[in-house]
Structures are given as C-alpha cells and as structure tokens.
Chain A
Amino acid sequence: MAALDDPSSYGGPLKEIVYENTYITGPNGYGPRAQFRVADVQAILRAVLRERMEKQQYDPVKAAHISKHIAEDLREKVKALGCERHKLVIQVTLGQKAGQATRIASRCLWDTSTDGFASEHYENETMYCVCQVFAVYFE
C-alpha cells in the first residue's frame, strides 16, 4: 500500500491554489502599517540622498552608478517600511549644475484614497538630485 506522501500516489497535474476571499476592500483593512505614509517615506528619501550625495563631485561615470544605487537602495528601504499591498515605482534624476534650467513634472491616474507619492531633492555645488517615490495599491 503506497504511503500517503509517496509521489506516485498523486494523481494528475498540480491543482491551482485558490485563495479565500479576505473581504478587505482597501489598505485600511490591513492595519495602520499598510497605509502609505508620506512623512516616513520622505524621511527615508532625505537620509539616503544625504548619505549618498554628500561631498560628491559630478563625474559622468560615477553619476550613472550613483543614480542606479540610489534607486535600488530606496526601493529596498521603502519596501521594508511594510506597505505590502502597494506596488512601488521609484524615479531618481541626477544632473550636473551648469547654469541650465530643468523642470520635472508628473501626472498620475490613480485612486487618490489609496495611492500616494513622496518626493525630495538634494543639491550640492556641482550636482543636484531629485527622487520621486510612487505607491499604487494593488487589490
């Protein structure tokens, strides 16, 4: 008689896992930590920018790496805040200061009650950096 955990006793293909309905319609239902908290995210942005950009001079090769690292770093730190129901989009723009003018704008089409964004900027003598974090609730 085949044991219960003998693979040959399984019949047919693996069944798709069906999750039970949680009946929770918004991030509020998951507790206070699940809400997107703008102030906390802004504090993280400020800390990361200051740490990465202080005393740096603009260098075209390094700047490419710095911007990528900042984006990845921010993604991990914001994920660690605990908004598990939100998808995150982080955009980092790093530019050299050469007397030019730049304008960065964004528009979002989302549900204002559940989604949000945070943005911070940092500058030193040779360069400036603007970070934007967007969080979109996923049902």
Chain B
Amino acid sequence: MDDAASVPDETGFVADEVTAIVKEAVDGVLAAEAYNEQMVGRWTSNCLEGCVKRLVALGKPYKYIVTCTIMQKTGAGLHTAASAYYDTATDGSRTIRWENKSMYAITTVFALAA
C-alpha cells in the first residue's frame, strides 16, 4: 500500500533551485558584456525569457512574476524594497544580484501558488 503521508519535496518553493536558474539565465546573456544603451532592452527581455522558460520547465503549479533591473555602474545608489500579501507556507520570493565591471543586474522572482 502506498505511503500517502510522504509528500515529495519538489512541489514546494525551493529558493536555491530558483537562484541557480536565475544565475544561469543572467550569466548566459550578460557574461562579459559591457553596458550598451541600445542592447539593454534586448538583454532584459532575453534574461527574463530565459528565467521564465526555465521556471516553467520545473513543472510546479505556480504563477511566476520575474522582475529584472539593469543599471549602469556610475557610483549612484539604488534601493529596492518589496512587500507582498501571500501565503508564506506555499509561496516565496528570491532576489538575485549579479554584477560585472560595467553594470548591475538585480532579478527578483516571486512564485505564487495557483
């Protein structure tokens, strides 16, 4: 008889998995690129599409919201704050910071159970 009490871990929000996915997606697009005004639009789109595709491939019953901010490095300050009204038992969020010599990329993923 099947042990109904053993629920597989994979159906929850695993933050580390999400961090790995986002780092991979952003590295794939921005590694070794210098900040370029014309390309930024394309880069943000590609990063986001890469993230969403990989998140969907996880196969979990979640709705995702992914936000990406790319900023040129000029010594200016930047603050990000997020507040949410969700069920902390099933939903979660993660912010991933990435940088190279000429820019910062800050990606936030919110996963909400459908």
* Size bracket of the A interface: 35 or more
Min CB gap A137→B, angstroms: 9
The answer on a CB contact under 8 Å between B40 and A101 is: yes
The answer on a CB contact under 8 Å between A87 and B81 is: no
Which residues of A are at the interface with B, using a C-beta cutoff of 8 A? 58, 60, 63-64, 66-68, 70-72, 74-75, 79, 87-111, 115, 132, 134, 136, 138-139
The answer on a CB contact under 8 Å between B78 and A108 is: no
Interface check B16, CB cutoff 8 A: no
Residue of B nearest to A92 (CB): B81
The answer on a CB contact under 8 Å between A79 and B69 is: no
The answer on a CB contact under 8 Å between B76 and A97 is: yes
Instruction: Give 11 CB contacts A-B under 8 Å.
Output: A63-B79, A75-B83, A91-B67, A91-B108, A94-B80, A95-B78, A104-B68, A108-B64, A108-B65, A109-B63, A134-B110
Which residues of B are at the interface with A, using a C-beta cutoff of 8 A? 35, 37, 40-41, 44-45, 48-49, 51-52, 55-56, 63-87, 91, 93, 108, 110, 112-114
**How far is it, in angstroms, between the C-alpha of A89 and the C-alpha of B92 when the chains are bound?**
11
**How far is it, in angstroms, between the C-alpha of A105 and the C-alpha of B26 when the chains are bound?**
14
Contacts of B77 in A (CB 8 A): 58, 60, 63, 95-96
Min CB gap A41→B, angstroms: 13
Contacts of B91 in A (CB 8 A): 87
The answer on a CB contact under 8 Å between B84 and A89 is: yes
Residue of A nearest to B80 (CB): A93
**How far is it, in angstroms, between the C-alpha of A74 and the C-alpha of B81 when the chains are bound?**
11
Min CB gap B16→A, angstroms: 20
The answer on a CB contact under 8 Å between B79 and A94 is: yes
**How far is it, in angstroms, between the C-alpha of A93 and the C-alpha of B80 when the chains are bound?**
4
**How far is it, in angstroms, between the C-alpha of A68 and the C-alpha of B80 when the chains are bound?**
8
Residue of B nearest to A95 (CB): B78
**How far is it, in angstroms, between the C-alpha of A89 and the C-alpha of B44 when the chains are bound?**
20
Min CB gap B20→A, angstroms: 18
The answer on a CB contact under 8 Å between A89 and B69 is: no
- Indicate which residue in A67, A96, A104, A136 contacts B69 across the interface (CB closer than 8 Å): A104
The answer on a CB contact under 8 Å between A90 and B83 is: yes
Q: Among the interface residues B35, B40, B78, which one has the most CB atoms of the partner chain A within 10 A?
A: B78
The answer on a CB contact under 8 Å between A95 and B76 is: yes
**How far is it, in angstroms, between the C-alpha of A103 and the C-alpha of B83 when the chains are bound?**
21
The answer on a CB contact under 8 Å between B86 and A104 is: no
